Amino acid sequence: MRLLDQTIASIKPTLNEDAFHAAKERLANQAKPAGSLGVMEDIAARLAAIKGAIDVKLSNKRIVTCAGDHGVTEEGVSLFPSEVTPQMVYNFARNGASVNVIAKHAGAFVKAADIGVNFDFEPDLPIFHKKVRYGTANFTREPAMSRKEAILSIEAGIDIVNELEAEARVDILGTGDMGIGNTTPSSAIIAAFSGIAVEKLTGRGTGIDDRMLENKIAVIKKGLSLHRPDPSDPIDVLSKVGGLEIGALAGLVLGAAARGIPVVCDGLISTAGALIACELCPAAKNYLFAGHKSVEIGHAFMHERLGLEPLIDLKFRLGEGTGAAVCMELLDLATRILADIKTFEEVGIRNAQ
């Protein structure tokens, strides 16, 4: 049995119901109107169910930013050239990117992963060296990658989780991305699964103008028409119109779910990876939190298909794991709401309910 199959088989179909009900009961009996902290109470109960405990500690926060290049950039779908991808990986490694700054504030550690960058990094660069190939092919001409490469990209993400866990128990994992042109395969993925018109799913990515947006839509339509990815086969979708870093993002979700680690996914590209993961194994959704609602219009359709409500809407459209980092602070707070707010009984208040 290969790593992907082993990992999926290890994901528990249900969470700890006893911990969930105990959390709900405590929240209902705290010294405040029942349900008055809204979504934060729901988050707290879900985390308790994932961890099997009332007093959850999210001490070791990790964000993995997966990077890859895309052959489809040859079709003029982005304002920036692919050469920017490796430059940004260096910026992550040097703690100079947006996600590094936001994650530091949230008490999270960021590490980038080379899954498919069209560049050779120095072996001692402090990133995860998991290259499957040097970028995807241009999917308007041929499949983005082979089926074997798609599986290897997912397994790269699983490997990363396993390596992180070997260092120290991960309490929460955030997913992020870097790859010039990667909103194009992400939009293609949700179109392939949903059957919704490409025009309704495709946004401006790096800020392209109307003419470039029309071209981007045409490019996605061409790839879908040429390859006809099978929505009942997530590997087929990933291999034909996806991205290497998107596969690794799926692997992060699956790997974390198999180890009982909650995952906060970031924007459009990270959610495309989460979508692949949950199409492969619906139970993985139990461990998944939708961090934020991106400006990218396809993101809402991904959330709808996953049945997840994004926690915040700050009009982000950067990626990298920035939204996931912000939301880690909310999840951290949710654990304290559950464990630290006293119940009416604990503070000696009677007849308050």
Question: What positions carry a catalytic annotation?
Answer: 320
User: What angle (nearest 5°) sits at the alpha carbon of residue 49, between those of residues 46 and 55?
Assistant: 90
Cβ-proximal residues to 129 (8 Å cutoff; 6+ apart), any chain: 114, 121, 123
Structure-token pair, residue 38: 């809204």
Q: Taking a C-beta distance cutoff of 8 angstroms, is the pair 338, 40 a contact?
A: no
Cβ-proximal residues to 286 (8 Å cutoff; 6+ apart), any chain: 12, 14, 15, 49, 50, 257
Cβ-proximal residues to 27 (8 Å cutoff; 6+ apart), any chain: 34, 35, 37, 41, 44, 45, 337, 338
Cα(125)–Cα(76) distance, rounded to whole angstroms?
Answer: 31
Alpha helices for 120-209 (secondary structure H): 147-167, 183-194, 198-201
Cα(68)–Cα(59) distance, rounded to whole angstroms?
Answer: 29
108, containing H or E segment: strand 108-116
> 181 — phi, psi (to 5°)?
90, 0
DSSP state of 135: S
Pairing of strands 172-178, 61-68: parallel
Q: Helices 234-241 & 244-258, crossing angle to 10 degrees?
A: 150
DSSP state of 30: B
Sole residue written with tokens 């528990």:
12
Alpha helices for 73-182 (secondary structure H): 84-93, 98-106, 147-167
Q: What's the chain's length in residues?
A: 353
